[in-house]
Structure 1
Amino acid sequence: MAATVPPFYRTFFATIDPVICFTGILLPLFAPDIYLKSFSPTAAIPPAVETRVCLDNLAAWFTACFLLQVGLLRARPNDLTVWRFLQAAILIVDVGMLAAYGRAFHAQGRTKWSLWRLEEWANILVTVGVATVRTAFLMGVGVGRSERVKRG
């Protein structure tokens, strides 16, 4: 049986994306100051209890996502439907993260791109990059016609 997920997407979603996701586990848990400062130059350090709870919840989400990316995608390597549902779910999170960045910049009066710091640009560019790859996959870009029609 031919693989339904093209090699580029297979490598990206099952190997590269989990590495990116892993930073979302480690930083909120073990380096919350660095993590928070990467989103706001005025981050409250040390984080308040409610912020710490949100960071721990975020790390839990990233852990679940990591396990799905590493485990589920390898367990169902030819199930295009599983791959699409997972990427659609994570794309919702990517879009939500980008909206959160925009909301934060607006609240800080930093809507001009020239006011963004290097770490903020890095966060946004990585998120836009992975969201673009997810969107292309979901639109069937690079997926052969016979694979697009297959439903797992």
Structure 2
Amino acid sequence: MAITDNIHPIYTLWFLWVDPALTVMGMWVNFLDHNLALQAFFSTRPPAALFAPFLYQIGGMGTSYLILMLTLLRYTHDVNIWKMVQGAILPADFTMLTAVYMGLKMENNLALGGWRWEDWFSVIITVICTEAALKSSCRR
């Protein structure tokens, strides 16, 4: 069995196409639309200019992940390399979930009934990404 056979087709689709597309969207928002970036966390947004340095930093982090996904994962189908890449990105997923939780808590909006579409989108997409990374990095 070739080492390529160990990467399930769903992970190939997700990590070579879907996750990079989501990362590009996140980078675009963090670099170019600061108001939308803040809207993902706060319904009563503070002025975006105050958060611009942090949003650029988040966009830069996404750029690093995107380069790994578009180059390293396409260069090799070594399942161990794929696991290492996903393991390296996992902390960002957990941090994103923590950030969403903190934003909802700051807005006194932890009750599911009060969530906006932005809240649902952030949580659902991040949970799917986290679950896929966990499953692929723990696969034997």
State the TM-score, normalized to the length of structure 1.
Answer: 0.85
Contact preservation (8 Å) 2:26, 2:62: yes
Contact preservation (8 Å) 2:90, 2:133: yes
Q: Which stretch shows the higher mean deviation, 22-31 or 103-112?
A: 103-112
4+ long deviations beyond 6 Å: none
Q: What 5-or-longer segments of structure 2 have no aligned partner?
A: none
Aligned residues: 138
Root-mean-square deviation over aligned CA pairs:
1.3
Aligned residue in 2 for 1:116: 115
Deviations 1:91-141 (A, max 9, x none): 11111111111122222211111111111111110000111111221231x
Aligned residue in 1 for 2:55: 55
3-state secondary structure, aligned to 2:21: helix
Q: Match for 1:134: what amino acid? A: A
3-state secondary structure, aligned to 2:46: coil
- Bigger radius of gyration, 1 or 2? 1
Q: Which has the higher contact order (CA 8 A, sep 6+)?
A: 1
Aligned residue in 2 for 1:45: 47
- For 1:60-79, list aligned pairs within 5 A: 60-77=60-77, 79=78
3-state secondary structure, aligned to 2:49: coil
Aligned residue in 2 for 1:143: none
Matched, 1:30 2:29: no
Contact preservation (8 Å) 2:83, 2:138: no
Aligned residue in 2 for 1:128: 127
Q: How big is the shift at 1:38?
A: 2.2
CA distance in 2, matches of 1:95, 1:59: 17
- For 1:9-28, list aligned pairs within 5 A: 9-28=11-30
Q: What 5-or-longer segments of structure 1 have no aligned partner?
A: 141-147
Contact preservation (8 Å) 2:27, 2:62: yes
Deviations 1:40-72 (A, max 9, x none): 111113421xx1110111111001100000100
CA distance in 2, matches of 1:56, 1:46: 12
